[in-house]
Amino acid sequence: MRLAAISAADCRPCGHTVCLENSVSLVLLLTLLVMLPAVGAFLYDTSFWQRASLKPAFRIGAPVVYRQQEVSTHPGADACDVHPSERGEYYYYTVINYLRVAEVMADGRIIAVARNNKRLCFRPNDSGLRKARLAERLIYRPRFPRFGDNSSANRSS
């Protein structure tokens, strides 16, 4: 094994036709791997990541949580993070609604159902709307409405 410094003569190509063909093939392969996805995204005018995000974010029956900021003189029992206004005339607070997706519209809007069978419409990019986490689904299971549950309708009549 030679431990001497590498000279400029050692770095020049060997000149064999096989080595030259292999290096050209490698450069061509790398160019194709980079250029084909770029050209495809340019021609279709959407990238791979945008197409992946076009699938519906919520599916029917999925439990969702909606955090809503409210202002009033008397916060309800379900209010959390309560802060008085500067003069103490109003209270700022957050209400957490536990909903279930009933319908996903063609334009991406979501129709969700509350426990009292009230239907609410949301845009999928609403900052207060999110999927329920695993812990929330387990701990707050009774707070999410069930489909086909007529017990609230029977209580009101």
Q: What is the pLDDT of residue 110?
A: 93
CA distances for 76 relative to 2, 13, 81, 94, angstroms: 83, 80, 12, 10
Where do the structural domains in the chain lie, given as residue ranges?
14-55, 63-148
pTM of the model: 0.57
Give tens-digit pLDDT for 103-145.
Answer: 999 888 999 999 999 999 999 888 999 999 999 999 999 999 9
The band of 15, judged by pLDDT with boundaries at 50, 70 and 90, is: low
Residue 63, exposed/middle/buried by CB under 10 A (0-12, 13-18, 19+)? Answer: buried
**Position with higher pLDDT, 29 vs 13:** 29
Among the residue ranges 44-48, 58-62, 94-98, 124-128, the one predicted with the least confidence is 44-48
Tokens of 20: 């030259």
